[in-house]
Amino acid sequence: MSGPGSVREERGLAGRAAALGLALALWPLAAPAAEPPPGESAFLALASNEDAYCSRVALIRSATSRIDIQTYILTPDITGSGLVRELEAAADRGVAVRLLLDDYGSHEAKDRLDALRRKPGVEIRYVNASRRQGLTRRVDYLLDFQRLNRRMHNKSFIVDERTAIVGGRNIGDVYFRSGEVMFADLDVIVEGTAVSDLLRVFDLYWNSTVATPLNELAPLPARPRAQRDPSPEKAPACPARRVADPAAMQTAVTVVLSDPPSKISRDRSAPPVLDPIQDQILRELESPARSLSIVSPYFIPSDGWVDDLVALEARGVNVQILTNSALATNSTPVHAAYSKYRRELAEGGVQLFEFKPTAAPVADPELEFGAVRSHSTLHAKTFAVDDEKVFVGSFNFDPRSVDLNTEMGIILRNAPAAKSIRVLFEGGLRASAYEVRSSGGKLVWIDRDGEAERVLTREPGLTPLRRAWLKVLAILPIEHLL
């Protein structure tokens, strides 16, 4: 399901299998179909950062009528500014542009959008915006925390109502640039019936009370700001290309999942248009017969999830989970909260894997992801059930995705794609993740390198001080915020 860019990365970066294991496992295991049957969608996985960026560029360049983009983060860095330049060129061709951004994640992009929002046919709205700009925003977050702690985490990218990208990637360097940092993430490009469903979700948010025009938040300056984009030559080269090769696409019956925007506004005066995404996902997970494979970079199995997962294992379902290790995560508090549940899961037979970091720190500070300075970080959010269906989207298995953020994604009922996730756990993770097991009432980490195998009795790579800090964080009453 991945394109030629992933092959080049495999050959050139074979030594960095930690980040590529996920991408390579998502290749198709059956012959693709060029045309989706009526009522189905064609899809292609974008596991390579370069493919993910250049597919978006190709989509913008192919646009003839309208571009609708919804994202949590848009950063005015090399690739973020590059996509904004492409949108400016599309607007100059007469293409209408609607850009729907989260105010917390995309606040820094407001100045960079100055030229784009001056163009005819361009509209930009921000979701759940702070009433203040500049440094005083911090005051707003202190005074109005209950509202502003709720964020739009959705990601979709729709062009001409015919082609869309949905998945885990925001818009910025850590999601698109390759080379020194291998950011393991996953999107799918889709055509067919799923696109109209994704557009309905976009319109629902666009027309909701939580979306405010940018011109109301930050009035347009009388004079255009000078645009000085950082190092555009470092962006991935995107020569003329098809948006997606029809011969490489597979088909699936699709179900688009999304929270309603009222999850942010907490407006209960009208019946919800959509069920909460947690309820939609639980319906997809309620009856696995053979296997359940979960990939979630932030994994906190509270609210009875541990009991449910162990119960599935007890009745013969093979339950497998991949999340970040302590040194690969960008959120130490999330890892601390997750660590409280590891032993019970492992003792209950659930297979736990933790994504490895690489040893060397990142030399380019532009490519740091939060507190992470590892070369490899897991950000993909996916799960597969019974080799029958697979989810790709923005939802993490954590309290923030359940209770605070709005999330979205797509279910693909396609056996080869679902099977590829299980195959990842059965072989592809040997070098790219630690396996966490229970032994004698304690946890051990299995570290594999080729045929060699080491059993570690302490969490890998942590100093005594870092271990102590994780224990302190684990007992703080903050899990509901993570």
Q: What residues act catalytically?
A: 153, 155, 160, 379, 381, 386
E-strand spans in 54-141?
A: 66-71, 96-102, 122-127
Give the separation between CA 15 and CA 146, rounded to whole angstroms: 45
Residue type, 63: A
The CA-atom distances, in angstroms, between 64 and each of 55, 59, 91, 162, 341 are: 16, 10, 10, 11, 50
Closest of 9, 301, 49 to residue 167, by C-alpha: 49
419/381 Cα distance (integer angstroms): 16
- Bridge-based pairing of strands 122-127 and 96-102 is parallel
Nearest-angstrom CA–CA distance, 109 and 101: 10
Report angle CA 242, 244, 247 to the nearest 5 degrees. 110
Give which of 364, 373, 365, 382 is closest to 328, Cα–Cα: 373
Among the listed residues 480, 394, 330, the one whose alpha carbon sits nearest the alpha carbon of residue 73: 394
Residue 11 amino acid letter: R
Question: What are the helix and strand counts (H, E) for the chain?
Answer: 18, 20
Contacts of 212 (CB under 8 A, 6+ apart): 125, 126, 127, 129
The tokens for 117 are: 């929002």
Q: How far apart are CA 1 and CA 250, in angstroms?
A: 8
Cα dihedral angle (460, 466, 471, 476), rounded to 10 degrees?
A: -130
- Round to whole Å and give the CA distance between 365 and 147: 32
Q: Residue 443 and residue 459: Cα distance in Å, rounded?
A: 9
Output the CA–CA distances (angstroms, integers) from residue 151 to 94, 146, 147, 378, in the order listed: 32, 11, 9, 21
> Which two tokens mark 247?
């011969």
Are the beta carbons of 431 and 450 closer than 8 angstroms? yes
Buried b / exposed e across 391-400, counting CB within 10 Å, b at 16+? bbbbbbbbbb
